[in-house]
Amino acid sequence: MNEQGTLPVIPEGKAGRIYAAAERTIRAKYGAQLLTDDHALTVEMILGMARAVDQGLQFGKVSTATTTMLKELREALASLPQGESQGGSEWDQIQADLA
C-alpha cells in the first residue's frame, strides 16, 4: 500500500502470474477490510517477492534463490489476517489461479 492506503498500480500486462495472483489475494483482503496500515510493509514485501519470483521463473532452471523466495512469499502471505474461510488458503487460491 502507498501513503494513501491504496495498492500500488501496476500497468496491465506487466505483472507475471505469481505477482498477479498475489495482488488479487491482497486486493481481496483489502476489500474485505482485513488489512490496515499496520500491514503496509508486509504487503509491499509480498508484492516485491512475487515480482522477484516471476523474474526467477523466467529461466529454464529454477535457482535456489527463487525457491527460497517462494517459501518466504508463502510465509508472508500466511502472516496476513485470515477472513472467514470458505475453504482453502491464499496459497491454494494462488495455485488454483496458476492452473
Looking at residue 43, its pLDDT comes to 95
Environment class of residue 35 by beta-carbon count within 10 Å: exposed (0-12), middle (13-18) or buried (19+)? buried
Looking at residue 3, its pLDDT comes to 52
Tell me the average pLDDT across 43-64: 89
Alpha-carbon span 21 to 50, nearest angstrom:
9
Tell me the average pLDDT across 73-86: 85
Backbone phi and psi for residue 14, each to the nearest 5 degrees, phi listed first: -90, -20
Give residue 98's identity as a one-letter amino acid code: L
Looking at residue 15, its pLDDT comes to 72
Q: Kindly report, residue by residue over 43-53, the tens digit of the pLDDT.
A: 999 999 999 99
